[in-house]
Every structure is written in C-alpha cells, then in structure tokens.
Amino acid sequence: MPGADPRRELRLTRHGRGARNIRCPLATLCCGRRTRRSGSGVELHVEDGGESPLNKRLYTGIRASGAMHRTGAELASDCGAMPSPRASTPPRIEPGSVRVAFTFLLMVAACTPQDAAGPGGGRAASALRANISFDLGLAFYASPTGSPSGDGSFSNPWDLATALGGPTAVTPGSTIWLRGGTYTNPVDPRGFPSTLMGTADAPIVVRQYPGERATVTNTLLVTGAYTWFWGFEVTHPAPQQEALHGVNVQGPGTKLINLIVHDATDDGIFIWPQATGAEVNGSVVYNNGRTDNLTHGIYCKSGTATLLLKDNIVFDNWASGFHCYANDGPHIQNIDLEGNVAFNNYVWGVPWDTDILVGGEVPASGITVNENYTYRTNNSNTQTADIGSNVVTNQNLVCTNNYFVGGWWQMGAWATATVTGNTLYNFTTGGMVWTLGTVSDQRWSDNTFFGNPTAVAWRHDSNSATFDGWRTQTGLADPGTYAGSAPTGLKIVVRPNQYEPGRANIIVYNWAQQSTVSVDVSGILHMGDRYVVRNSEDFYGPPIASGVYTGRALQLPMVSITPPSPVGVETAQSAPVTGPTFNVFVLMKTRPGRCTPDEDESSCTSWLERGDLSSRARAHR
C-alpha cells in the first residue's frame, strides 16, 4: 500500500484460501480469533501463498510494508504456549473482521478472544488497549549462556544483564525473549537491574520464551519505565544471605504478568509509590519473606494513578499476603485488588498478620477490594482481611463480592464505604467482623455470613456482641443475613487471564469433600485446544490434568498436596495442606493448533495427524 505508515500496515499470506482484505484498528493479528467488532484502522491483505521464506515452513506469512529483520514471529506459532522452537505453525486467518488489541505480542500468545467468559458469567474484557503497539521488527533474545558481546539475535543472544541494561537497539515496542535456564549475575550477585525505557503506548516486553522455563535468581530491580515482565520465575536460591525483594518495582507503568515469584528473603514483590500505574496480574507468589510482621507476599504503595493487583495467587508468605500500607505521604491511594486468591499467609511467622491488608498510618482513599478469595487451614485466632487498619479515618472504599474464609475481618474507619455481596465464614468458633469508628455513611447490604448468629463473635470498637447486638451498636439495620452454620456443596470460580487466552485461575471450595470436581471451562478453551491444569501449590510439578478439550467439563482431582517449604531456612512445621477442601488451579493452553474430536468425543485427532488436504497444507517441513 504505497504511502502507508510501515508501522501500521501488514500483509498476511495464508494458504488454501482466496485473497481477502481485513481492516484492523492497529497492525495486529488477533490469533485467528473471530470477533463481531469492527472499526477503522489499517487494512490487512490476506492472500494465497506458497512456501514461507521464513525457516522454509508452510504457514501464514506476515509481511510489513516497511523493512523488517528477523523477528519473534518466525518462532511464535499460535496464541498458546509453544512447546519448543521446532513446534508447529502459526494460526490461519478465519473469515470475519478482526478486532485487534495489540500488534506483534498478541500474534505470539496473548490476544483475548471476545467470547471468553468473564468472572461471574460475564464477558472477559480485554486488558489490552488498542493504542498499545509493538514493533514487528524488534524481537531480541537473552540466554543464560548469552554474552555482552552478543547482538541480541536468536543465534547470538545477550546475557540478561546486558539485555536489561537498555541496549541501543531495544527501543519502545521491542520484545526481549528469555530462553530457558537459570540466570545469575556474575558481576552483581544481588541480581539484575532493569533500566529499559518503553512508553505508555509502546512498552518493552521481557518475556519467557514459549515452552521453556526461565529462572531469574535473586532480585529484579526495575527502575526503567513502561516495561512488562511476563511469564518467568524469580527466586532466591540457597544459600540465602542478603535481604532482597524478589521484584523491586520503582519504574512507572511496570507490569508483572503471570510471574512465579518465590523464596525472596524480603517481600516477594515490592511496589514503590513512584511506580505510578503499575500492575501485577496473574502471578503466583509464595514462601517470600523471612522476618516476622515485616516481609510479605506483595507489599505495595500507590499515589495518583491506579495500582492494579488482579488475579494473583498469593500464599504461604512469612507475614501478610497483600500488604498495602504506608506510614507517611498519601501513599495508600487508588489501589484496586480484584480477583486475587490469598491463603495461609503468615504461617511461618507470628500469627498476627492477615491475608489481605489495605491501610496504614495515613488515610487510604480510592480503594477497591472486589471478588477476592481467602482460605486458612488453621483458623485459630486468625485474620482474613484488614481493610482500613485501626489508626486513622480513611476516605472512600468499595468492598464487594469477596469470599472470606478462615479468619475474622477488620473494617477500619471509612468516611464512605460500599460493602455489599461479600461472604464471610470463620468456621465454628472464630470471630466475624470488627468495625471501627463511625459507620453512618457506610452502605452495607446483601452480605452472607456463616456460623452461629447468637455467638459473641462480632465487635464494634471495644464492644463485643452477637450479630444482633453488633447491628444495634453500628446502626446497620440490614447488613446481610446468616445463611447457615457452614457452607455446603461446591463453590467453583473460573477467572480468565487477561493476557493469555486459554489460561485461567480455577478456585475450588470443596465443602462437599468430593474426590473430583467438574469444572466448566467452555469460556476459556475452544474445542480441540490442548491444555494442562496445574496445582498452584506445586506449579512446576506434574500437572493434575491434561489433554485435548472436547467441550465437556474438566474433571479435576481434589488432591492433598504438601506445598514446598521455604528455601534456606528451617521452619517449625511443614507447609499447611489445603486439599481436598480447597485448591487453586491454573489452566493453560499448551500447544498451538486445534484438533477435531472423534465421533464419541472421547479423544481428539490433530489435523497434523489426519493427513487431509487442509492439514497437509499447514504441515511444517
């Protein structure tokens, strides 16, 4: 297309179908997903083609109208994780208009399908803005065997310190792929600083190479701006000496996506107030911290721009799971905790922390705590949530649709608060809710409680009471109702990942003590998708389920897994076991392509194995 901006025009070659033009808001593929949305933007031309010049494979080719050098597109084959560099082919382009959210990155593994089911049965909203772009020509590589003298190519990668140090070639919109293996820094054994500088519209992405396991040791210190760290492991191996955060976030616009952060000697993730607009999404955070009451799973401060903590799994940390706290400055502002799971935190240290804390010695404001889930194996005098602390009067809070299990819930003083749709169960003998200060401008309604309403398990300021007595003290006429002495049956929550289609957290409260549970993932997987399901407490262990999705519900065993104990330190007891009553699983699409179910839907044959014309057209050579 003469005269077009080369960053906004792509030509797509597909095989076995006639040519067609597709208009997209930005020059991005959406991994072959069909949507019903339309909009103005660039025009993509899709035409029949022969053998690709890239690696001599038959596959959907991509040609920009500007010059390109070797990119990750040559190695990325689908929206799902790819098992190896030799894995199969990129997706075909299906009929229909394509609505894009991003450019190069989503072609690899992360466009959110429009029909993915969202929490609560709704539709999954894309976390990817249409005005974020990634340069198709800017893909680089780092390896544990890389070198500072490398050029960042696939065959001559950098070492990680060089890659994160802001090489001239790495400009906004670039992607740096981390090859599998363990990364150590011989120059600075404390870990790796990142000074990469992306922009809000063109962040730099540092991502684990598909199908491989990249492990970054000791601390990752982020001082650059608008960099997304995606999918790899951060850990402090033994022997552990210095107290270091796992990921130390100081740069604005930083995103931590689907990381596995464990065994840091200080907080697993620490977010400073200058890291405006930061986000932690889909990460698994456990066994971090070594100091009572001071080192937590995720420790956060926030000022003006919203800090988003979403769909993280945080457990078995030394003190609190989430610790959003400040003792100076307006640094507990605009924090959104949504869809997180926090359980069995402060099991190693003294038992006076909490799974979720938001509040401190300065007023909190602009706080949202929505659809979070907690659990405790040992609920003796434990606290599940502290929303507001007990020191100051805070400003405004929305606390809705949370499911708090295994501890009492403290509500600090808030000028205004909406507290609706929450569930609280502290087994049979634990305390329930402790409110502080004036609640006349708070709206409590439609909350559900389990336990004994006549027990003296409620408290307002220094006065303990039954449920009815607490309502009289607070003036809350109808805050909710008791639904029984204990929950029954099953509670299953499936939360789709915002960045990787085919990935979801599955949260199961197995009150019925079933040996297996049936989980509907029709909003996450498509017929023929290959998948694995991992227990979050044994993420790198054998999957608890795997196969090819036939459209039927997945049958997941409610097993009792002993989680790993902290590295480099002796503990008084083993890690608490949550199964079979409670488990959190991570569902992931594992391989590119789909296959066709057999007639009885009991198995699935890949098109790579069928040998028909369409499969032969896509077979790689």
- Check whether residue 400 and residue 475 sit in a common domain: yes
Residue 182: predicted pLDDT: 98
Residue 329: predicted pLDDT: 87
Write out pLDDT tens, residues 48-68: 333 332 222 222 232 333 333
Helix, strand, coil percentages, rounded to 5, for the chain: 5, 35, 60
The CA distances from residue 117 to 124, 125, 493, 496, 526, in Å, are: 5, 9, 11, 7, 12
Distance from C-alpha of 222 to C-alpha of 380, rounded to nearest angstrom: 39
For residues 119-126, give the mean pLDDT: 35
User: Domain range spanning residue 10?
Assistant: 1-127
Give the pLDDT band of residue 479 (cuts 50, 70, 90): very high
116: pLDDT strictly greater than 70: no
Give the pLDDT band of residue 137 (cuts 50, 70, 90): low
Q: What are phi and psi of 119, to 5 degrees?
A: -55, 145
Q: What are phi and psi of 471, to 5 degrees?
A: -60, -40
Give the pLDDT band of residue 131 (cuts 50, 70, 90): low
Q: In 190-328, which residue ranges form alpha helices assigned H by DSSP?
A: none
What's this model's pTM, rounded to 2 decimal places? 0.79
Q: Where are the beta strands (DSSP E) in 1-68?
A: 10-14, 20-24, 42-48, 61-64
- Check whether residue 432 and residue 329 sit in a common domain: yes
Give the range among 40-44, 127-131, 143-147 with minimum mean pLDDT: 40-44
Do 83 and 590 touch, CB atoms closer than 8 A?
yes
Distance from C-alpha of 259 to C-alpha of 313, rounded to nearest angstrom: 10
Give the range among 16-20, 55-59, 144-148, 473-477 with minimum mean pLDDT: 55-59
Write out pLDDT tens, residues 248-297: 999 999 999 999 999 999 999 999 999 999 999 999 999 999 888 889 99
**Top-ranked range on mean pLDDT: pick from 2-6, 79-83, 285-289, 388-392:** 285-289
Distance from C-alpha of 487 to C-alpha of 121, rounded to nearest angstrom: 21
- Check whether residue 398 and residue 524 sit in a common domain: no
Beta strands 365-370 and 341-343, pairing class: unpaired
Asked whether residue 193 is assigned to any structural domain, the reply reads no
For residues 448-470, give the mean pLDDT: 96
For residues 323-348, give the mean pLDDT: 94
Which of 106, 148, 108, 147 is CA-nearest to residue 128? 106
Q: In 67-114, which residue ranges form alpha helices assigned H by DSSP?
A: 104-108
**What's the per-residue H, E or C state across 526-581?**
CCCCEEEEEEHHHCCCCCCEEEECCCCCEEEECCCCCCCCCCCCCCCCCCCCCCCC
Give the pLDDT band of residue 386 (cuts 50, 70, 90): very high
Asked whether residue 20 is assigned to any structural domain, the reply reads yes
Beta bridge partners of 176: 140, 206
Tally of domains in the chain: 3
Beta bridge partners of 158: 142
SS3 of residue 120 by DSSP? helix
Which of 257, 269, 290 is CA-nearest to residue 565? 290
Asked whether residue 323 is assigned to any structural domain, the reply reads yes
- Check whether residue 355 and residue 260 sit in a common domain: yes
Do 356 and 374 touch, CB atoms closer than 8 A?
yes
Q: Which residues fall within 8 angstroms of residue 184, CB to CB, at 6 or more apart?
A: 144, 217, 218
For residues 106-116, give the mean pLDDT: 36
Q: Within 13 Å and on the Cβ side, how many CA atoms surround 390?
A: 10
* Domain's final residue, options 431, 458, 484: 484
Do 82 and 210 touch, CB atoms closer than 8 A?
yes
Q: What are phi and psi of 142, to 5 degrees?
A: -125, 155
Q: Which residues of 200-210 are buried (b: 16+ CB within 10 A; e: fewer)?
A: eebbbbbbbbb
The CA distances from residue 75 to 257, 289, 466, 591, in Å, are: 21, 38, 63, 13
* Domain's final residue, options 79, 112, 127: 127
Q: How far is CA 251 from the centre of its chain?
A: 19
Do 472 and 509 touch, CB atoms closer than 8 A?
no
Asked whether residue 224 is assigned to any structural domain, the reply reads no
Amino acid at 264: A
For residues 514-522, give the mean pLDDT: 98
Residue 115: predicted pLDDT: 30
Asked whether residue 149 is assigned to any structural domain, the reply reads no
H-helix or E-strand containing 410? strand 408-411
- Check whether residue 278 and residue 383 sit in a common domain: yes
Distance from C-alpha of 350 to C-alpha of 323, rounded to nearest angstrom: 15
Q: Which residues of 136-166 are buried (b: 16+ CB within 10 A; e: fewer)?
A: bbbbbbbbbebeeebebebeebbbbbbbbbb
Distance from C-alpha of 367 to C-alpha of 358, rounded to nearest angstrom: 8
Residue 455: predicted pLDDT: 95
- Check whether residue 447 and residue 579 sit in a common domain: no
Burial of 602 from C-beta contacts in 10 A (0-12 / 13-18 / 19+):
exposed
Asked whether residue 141 is assigned to any structural domain, the reply reads no
| Encoded tokens for 218 | 């000791």
Beta bridge partners of 414: 394
- Check whether residue 350 and residue 379 sit in a common domain: yes
Amino acid at 407: G
Residue 38: predicted pLDDT: 34
- Check whether residue 420 and residue 531 sit in a common domain: no
Amino acid at 114: Q
H-helix or E-strand containing 306? none
Asked whether residue 511 is assigned to any structural domain, the reply reads yes
* Domain's final residue, options 127, 152, 181: 127
Q: Which residues of 305-326 are buried (b: 16+ CB within 10 A; e: fewer)?
A: eebbbbbbbbbbbbbbbbbbbb
78: pLDDT strictly greater than 50: no
- Check whether residue 270 and residue 389 sit in a common domain: yes
| Encoded tokens for 552 | 């039927």
- Check whether residue 461 and residue 503 sit in a common domain: no
Beta strands 181-183 and 214-217, pairing class: parallel
Write out pLDDT tens, residues 488-503: 999 999 999 999 999 9
Q: How confident is the prediction for the chain on average, in pLDDT? A: 79
- Check whether residue 465 and residue 501 sit in a common domain: no
Give the range among 342-356, 383-397, 459-473, 513-527 with minimum mean pLDDT: 342-356
**Top-ranked range on mean pLDDT: pick from 14-18, 186-190, 213-217, 291-295:** 213-217
Residue 548: predicted pLDDT: 96
- Check whether residue 473 and residue 494 sit in a common domain: no
Asked whether residue 244 is assigned to any structural domain, the reply reads yes
112: pLDDT strictly greater than 80: no
373: pLDDT strictly greater than 90: yes
Q: Which residues of 459-498 are buried (b: 16+ CB within 10 A; e: fewer)?
A: bbeeeebbbebbbebbebeebbeeeeeebeebbebbbbbb
Do 481 and 448 touch, CB atoms closer than 8 A?
yes
